Amino acid sequence: MAVARVRAQESAAENALFEDPYAAAFVAASGEPLRPRPGPGPLAAVLAFQTVVRTRFYDDQLLHSGHDQVVLLAAGLDTRAYRLGWPPGTRLYEVDLPPVLDFKHRVLAARSAEPRCERAAVPADLLTPTWADRLREAGFDPTRPATWLVEGLLVYLTAEQSAALLTTVGELSAPGSMLALERGRSGRTVLDDPSVAHITSLWKGGLGAGTADWLAGHGWHPRNHPLDEVAAHYGRPTANPSGTGFITALRTPRGGQP
């Protein structure tokens, strides 16, 4: 719910980087306040800033990927299917646990929300191998290029879980497919911020700062997008001492370059 809260606050701000007209409805339906208590500490502010920038960055990457298959892993309360202007013929797959997708469906149905592309909800656990079968059963074609988004997920997984998930993504990705995800943190982050302790206590690190290297060694051609450079591009300059940011990666033909 923390991401929905940040997106709701940004959507209501002047000069917002994006508009998510459904984020506040998710927060209201959850019974949580729109403004968290206690007030946000320093790490909470950093995470909120990164969430805002990454939302806009991923919006742009997905819309301009040129693929008509888009897969959101751990889609959560993402509403890109409803709020972005997708090219005709786009089919978007949202993979997440059944209770998450059910909650989202109830809230959006109450708002009479209609997707702006073909949308397929795929109830599945990404920590089990069967999620790939559920995705194919929903109509995904692994012989055609696709765009994958793994937003905000890997930090909650171990390195082994992250590698297993991305290995499956690679197996489902035809040459020319694109993957977008977080770059991972370098160095040590101070986590003694009580306003986000319920979030940071769940972090397991994912692949950390080695995410791009892992991708390069497993059939992808990655490109790093440092947070400070992306934020400056959107008119939100900031320092980036932790080295965080984003990665876009193209699936290469076996033994070749993209």
What is the structure's pLDDT at 258? Answer: 56
Burial (CB count <10 Å: 0-12, 13-18, 19+), residue 85 = exposed
Taken in order of first residue, the domains within the chain and their CATH numbers are 1-37 (no CATH), 39-251 (3.40.50.150)
- pLDDT for res 140: 98
Strand order, beta sheet including 245-251: 118-123, 91-96, 69-73, 147-150, 178-182, 245-251, 220-226
Longest dimension (CA), the chain: 52
Q: What is the mean pLDDT of each run of 10 residues along the chain (258 residues)?
A: 93 96 95 65 84 97 97 98 97 98 97 98 96 98 98 96 98 98 68 73 89 97 96 89 87 70
Contact call for residues 234 and 16 (beta carbons, < 8 A)? no
Per-residue model confidence (pLDDT) at position 34: 65
Task: Give the Cα separation of 94 and 73 in Å (integer).
Answer: 6
Q: How far is the C-alpha of 166 from the C-alpha of 63, rounded, in Å?
A: 22
Residue 73, strand partner residues: 95, 150
- Secondary structure letter of residue 13 according to DSSP: S
Q: How far is CA 55 from CA 40, 80, 118, 145, 151, in A?
A: 20, 10, 21, 23, 9
How much is the pLDDT for 243?
74
- Measured CA to CA, the distance from residue 174 to residue 200 in angstroms comes to 35
114 backbone dihedrals φ, ψ, rounded to 5° = -125, 130
Backbone angles phi, psi at 228, to 5 degrees: -65, -35
